[in-house]
Amino acid sequence: MAEQIKRKTLDQRAQMSDLERLRHSCAHVMATAVMRLWPDTKLDVGPPTEEGFYYDFDATHRFVPEDFEKIEAEMAKVVAEKQLFQKHVMSRDEALKKIRAMNQPLKEIRLADIPQDEEISFYQNGDFVDLCAGPHIDDTAKVRAFKLLSIAGTYFKGDARNPQLQRLYGTAFPSEKELRIHLTALEEAKKRDHRKLGKELKLFSITPLVGGGLPLLLPKGGVIRRELERFIDEKLDARGYDRVFSPHIGDIQLYKTSGHYPYYKDSMYEPVHIDKDEYLLKPMNCPMHIQMYDSEPRSYRDLPLRLAEFGTVYRYEQSGELNGLTRVRGFTQDDGHIFCTPDQLRDEIKDCIRLVTEVLDVFKLPYQTRVSLSDPKNADKYAGGRELWDRAEAALQEVVDELDIPSTLGVGEAAFYGPKLDFMIKDALGRSWQLCTIQVDYSLPERFNLEYVGSDGQKHRPVMIHRAVFGSIERFMAVLIEHFAGAFPVWLAPEQVRLLPISNDQVAYAEELARQLRAAKIRVTVDHKADKISGKVRNAQLQKVPYMLVVGAKEAADQTVSVRARQHGDQGATPFAVFLERLSREIASRALPS
C-alpha cells in the first residue's frame, strides 16, 4: 500500500494543469516586460497560483498600480512577438556561470537550494532567460487574456531577516470571456471582503495599540463565535469528547520533545524567561493534550480517549502577510485529539470524516479533499521512522479508498509528525480555503513514550489523531462572512430580530415583544430612534438583520407584527405568537437563507 501511494504521488507531482502552465508562462511574460522597462531589476521566482500568478522582484523602482498599464502594454508586445519557450538543461557549474553573467544574485541562492540529484534547467523566451523547472506552453502568443491585479511586499524566501522584495500579482485565462468572468468575481469579492464587512457590521476590530494580527471580536462577532462553539459542542458531546483547557504558555522543553520547536521554530515567537526556565507562547495545543493523556496510567478500556479544546495559539506571521481574520498572529483552533489503539484507528478516522462533513453540510459548503503525504526525498522534514509513516499513510489512504472519497495527493504537504486528510472548502465565489484537517500520528506517542496496558497485560503504544473542523475559528468566520456576504442565516446572525415602532406610542408594545423574544433566547433590539419607518427599515437592511418587525397602532391593538424579511421583503401582518413559533423552528433547524 505504501509503495502504491508513493508511485501515485510522484506521478501526480510531475503534472501541471494546462491552466497552471499558462499562468506560469504569463508570469515569465510579465517578468520579460518588467526587465525591458527596468533592466536593473533582480529576479526571484514567479510561480502559478490558484487564482493566477505572481513574480517577486528586487527593484530600485517602486511599483505602483499606475505602472500596470505600462507593464501590460509591454506584455502585449511580448505576446505579439510569438516568442518560443525554449528549455536549456545545464550542469550546476554551467548554471552558476550563466547566473553570474546575468547578474542575478537571488537566482544564485535559488540554484544552491536545488537538490543535487535534480535537473537544472533554464527557460528562454526572446532575450529573457530564467532559472526555472517549467513546464511552459509552446510560445508567448498563447498568453492572450491576462490582467495585473495588485502589489505586495514580501521577504526573500519568506524570511524577515532577508531583503524585502516587491511582488506583482496577476491572472491569466485561455480566453477573454473567462478573464472577464473572473474579474467580475473579484469585484464581487471586494464587496464581500470580510475586513470591509467586519467594520460595517461591527464584528471585529484590529488596532495598533493591541497589535497587528491580533483581532478583537466585538460583541456581534462574539455572538457568531459563541454560536459556532455551541454548534461544535453538540457534535462533540454526541461523540463522547471531553472538554479540556490548557495554558497559553508552556516550557520550551515540551515543544523540543514534541518536535515543534526544531521543526516549526521559525513560526514561533522568541522564548520568554521565567525564573531560570524558558517558556514559549503556545504554538500548538497537541503537546498539552499529550500531557493530559500521560497524567495517569491508561488501559485499553479507557480508549479511545477524545479530548477537545478551543485553544488559542500564537504563530509568527510577517506584517506584510497579515490579512484581517484569515492571517493572524493569535487564533483559536477547535482542536481535537484522539488517543486510540491501532485496531480502533480506522473507525475513529471515519467518525472524524463524518464530523467534518456533517458540519460542512449545514453551511452547504462544497469541498474537495487532499491526502497530504510526506516527501521521501526530504526525510529530514519529518519526525519518526519510515515504518511509522508507512503505517500512518496506509491507514489514512485505506479509509479514503473504503469510503470512496474523491481526493488528490499532496506530496510534502503532511504535518511533520504524520499524514493528513485536508478539506479544501469552496465558498460562494468558488474560492478555495484549506480549513478542516484530520491527521494520523504514530510519531508523537513515540516521542513522548505514551503507553496503555492492553488486554494481554502488556504495555502498548497508542495512536493519535489530530483533527480540527473549523481549523482556525477566526479564519472560518472570515470565510462565512464572505460566503454569506454578511447576511448570516438566522441562527448565526448576531441580531436576529429588530423591532421598529412607528411612533413613540408603540415603544412600550415593542419592548414587551422584545422581552418575550429574549425569554425565548432570541437576539433582538428595539429601534428607538426618532426616524421615519422607511429610514429604520433601511438601517436594519444595511445591518443585514434577518427579520424586521414593524409595529404601529393597528399591530399593537391586534397583538400582531408586520413582518419584513431581509431577503423577501414585506410578509404582511402576523400574530406575534405565530411568528415566534415559526422563528424558533427556523433557528433550531439551522436553516440557510432561502
The one catalytic residue in 420, 460, 483, 498 is 420
Question: Nearest to residue 56, comparing CAs of 65, 47, 64?
Answer: 47
pLDDT at 11: 40
Retrieve residue 378's grid coordinates: 526530504
167 lies in some domain: yes
Catalytic: 436? no
Same domain membership, residue 547 and residue 508: yes
Residues 176, 107, single domain; the answer is: yes
Q: Which of 21, 282, 391, 466 is catalytic?
A: 466
Q: What is the mean pLDDT of residues 332-343?
A: 96
- Concerning whether 420 is annotated as a catalytic residue, the answer is yes
In a domain, 491, yes or no: no
62, β-bridge pairs: none
On whether residue 477 sits in a domain, the answer given is: yes
Distance CA 429, CA 182 (A): 10
Average pLDDT over residues 566-593: 92
Q: What is the pLDDT of residues 393-416, one digit of tens each?
A: 999 999 999 999 998 888 888 888
Catalytic residue among 130, 334, 335, 527: 335
Residue 155 in any domain: the answer is yes
Our answer to whether residue 434 is catalytic in this structure is: no
- Check whether residue 203 and residue 151 sit in a common domain: no
Cell numbers for 437: 484537517
Pairing of the two strands 497-501 and 524-526: parallel
Q: Around Cβ 340, how many Cβ atoms within 10 Å?
A: 21
Identified catalytic residue from 24, 315, 483, 544 = 315
Indicate if the pLDDT at residue 320 is higher than 80: no
Q: Any catalytic annotation for residue 381? A: no
Give the SS3 label for residue 571.
strand
pLDDT confidence of residue 594: 67
Q: Residue 459's domain spans which residues?
A: 199-483
Three-state SS at 374: coil
CATH at residue 312: 3.30.930.10
Shared domain for 13 and 153, answered yes or no, is: yes
Give the per-residue pLDDT at 15: 56
194 is catalytic: no
pLDDT tops 90 at residue 345? yes
Residue 337 a catalytic site member: yes
Pick the catalytic residue from 23, 289, 329, 337: 337
pLDDT single digits (tens) 429-475: 777 888 899 999 999 999 999 999 999 999 999 999 999 999 999 99
Can you tell me the distance from the alpha carbon of 366 to that of 379, in angstroms, rounded to the nearest whole number? 34
* Sign, CA torsion 278/282/283/287: positive
- What is the mean pLDDT of the segment spanning 363-376? 89
Of 189, 211, 246, which closes a domain? 189
Phi, psi of 57, deg, nearest 5? -125, 145
**Domain CATH for 178:** 3.30.980.10
Closest to 591 in 3D by CA, of 504, 502, 455, 488: 488
Is-contact 132 123, C-beta < 8 A? yes
Looking at the structure, do residues 41 and 146 belong to the same domain, yes or no?
Answer: yes
Residue 386 is predicted with a pLDDT of 86
Instruction: Specify the pLDDT at position 431.
Output: 77
Catalytic entry in 83, 166, 333, 496: 333
Mean pLDDT of the region 243-261: 93
Instruction: Clarify whether residues 183 and 236 are in a common domain.
Output: no
Is the model's pLDDT at 180 over the cut of 90?
yes
Whether 286 is catalytic is yes
Predicted confidence (pLDDT) at residue 14 exceeds the cutoff of 60: no
The kind and range of the H/E element at 499 are strand 497-501
Distance (Å, whole) CA 422 – CA 425: 10
Distance CA 408, CA 398 (A): 14
Does 338 share its domain with 292?
A: yes
Task: Output the pLDDT for position 44.
Answer: 95
Question: Rounded to two decimals, what is the model's pTM?
Answer: 0.80
> Which of 144, 169, 189 is the last residue in one of the domains?
189
